[in-house]
Amino acid sequence: MAVLEILKYPHPLLKKRCEKVDRIDGEVKKLIRDMTETMYQANGIGLAACQVGVSRRVIVVDVSPIDQEKDFFAIINPEVISEEGEIEHEEGCLSVPDCSEKLKRKEKVLVRGFSAAGKEIEIPAEGILAIALQHEIDHINGVLILDRISRLKRELYRNKLKKERRKKEDG
């Protein structure tokens, strides 16, 4: 297993829709192991393959630090097949450092995909698990939390990044 580099905004791969996984082979299983180690190392509760430079529809999620009832899982080719309600929650992102915003998400979702063993699975989720699933599925669809906030807040974040870059260059 290896800890991979987490891509940071504005890396172009973060804005691309990821490719469907056609075959769950050793390469995909290794990716899941590496993503898992990377997520834990970064103290995250979810990670999408594109965040580590791989344009595949694979996510890992473990919300147990917040909800002890839930366990770790990986899901391949996840898709939301039903949703209901609405919830507002503070979200951050490993690929968008120092950006924490209140976002509206669906309160409950049902997600379908495949396990690393190749079995079709359905995950009914609510609360933090539903939020994490929607966040990671956004990633594999090329959507960042910056795309879900106001234009003004997005511009403020971009300006902050520019200022930090200039500081490093001058530095």
Map residue 140 onto helix, strand or coil. helix
Q: Which long-range contacts (CB under 8 A, 24 or more apart) does 142-147 make?
A: 142/14, 142/15, 142/16, 142/17, 142/18, 142/50, 144/9, 144/14, 144/15, 144/93, 144/95, 144/96, 145/91, 145/92, 145/93, 145/96, 145/99, 145/101, 145/103, 146/9, 146/96, 146/99
Residue with tokens 């950006």: 99
Task: Determine whether 88 is an active site residue.
Answer: no
Q: What does the alpha-carbon distance between residue 137 and residue 144 come to, in Å, rounded to a whole number?
A: 10
Of 27, 84, 91, 136, the active-site residue reads: 136
8 CB contacts (<8 Å, ≥6 apart)? 95, 96, 97
Query: What positions carry a catalytic annotation?
Result: 136
